[in-house]
C-alpha cells in the first residue's frame, strides 16, 4: 500500500490543555475486568493523522492529535476539533523504525470538555517504515 507523506513541519501540535485532559483519564483499576477483545494501554503520543477515502487517499488536511489509549485492535485519540470522516490514516512512531501507518475506522467522535475523542478499530496497515541505518 502507498505511504502517505505527512508534512509535520507545518502542522499545529496539540496544546498543553489537551495533554492535561488525557492525564485526567485514569487507566482501569488493576483486576477490573475489561469487556474488550484486547486490553487497552494508556499511552500519550503525538501522532500525525489525515482523513482518507475508501481507497486510503487523503481527503482533507493533516493534523496532529494525542493518543488517549491504544490496543491491538484500535486506538483512541484526543483532538481539538471534530472530524467528519469515517476513515483516518494515522502515523505511529515506532522504536527502531521510521513509523507505522494504519487506517482507523472512526466509530466514535464525541466531545470531551472542549476537545474531541476520535476512536475506533484498526482497519489495515498502510506502510511500515524501514529501520534507520
Q: How far apart are CA 31 and CA 41, in angstroms?
A: 14
pLDDT of residue 130: 45
Tens digit of each residue's pLDDT (9 = 90 or more) over 109-127 = 999 888 899 999 999 988 6
Q: What is the CATH code of the structural domain delimited by 13-21+40-128?
A: 2.40.10.220
Strands (E), 1-133: 41-42, 46-51, 63-70, 74-79, 87-92, 100-105, 108-112, 115-128
> Per-domain residue ranges for the chain?
13-21+40-128
Q: Is the pTM of this model over 0.85?
A: no
Instruction: Give yes or no for residue 1 having a pLDDT over 60.
Output: no
- Please name which of 31, 32, 14 lies closest in space to residue 23, comparing C-alpha atoms: 14
At 76-86, the pLDDT tens digits run 999 999 998 99
C-alpha torsion angle, residues 120, 62, 128, 43 (rounded to 10): -50
Amino acid at each position: 500500500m502507498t505511504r502517505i507523506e505527512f508534512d509535520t513541519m507545518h502542522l499545529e501540535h496539540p496544546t498543553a490543555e489537551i495533554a492535561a485532559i488525557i492525564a485526567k483519564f485514569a487507566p482501569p483499576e488493576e483486576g477490573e475486568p475489561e469487556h474488550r477483545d484486547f486490553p487497552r494501554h494508556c499511552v500519550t503520543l503525538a501522532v500525525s493523522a489525515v482523513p482518507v477515502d475508501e481507497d486510503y487517499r487523503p481527503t482533507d488536511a493533516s493534523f496532529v492529535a494525542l493518543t488517549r489509549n491504544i490496543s491491538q485492535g484500535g486506538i483512541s485519540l484526543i483532538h481539538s476539533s471534530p472530524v467528519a470522516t469515517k476513515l483516518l490514516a494515522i502515523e505511529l512512531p515506532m522504536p527502531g523504525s521510521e513509523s507505522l501507518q494504519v487506517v482507523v475506522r472512526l466509530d466514535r467522535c464525541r466531545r470531551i470538555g472542549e476537545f474531541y475523542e476520535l476512536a475506533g478499530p484498526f482497519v489495515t496497515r498502510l506502510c511500515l517504515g524501514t529501520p534507520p541505518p
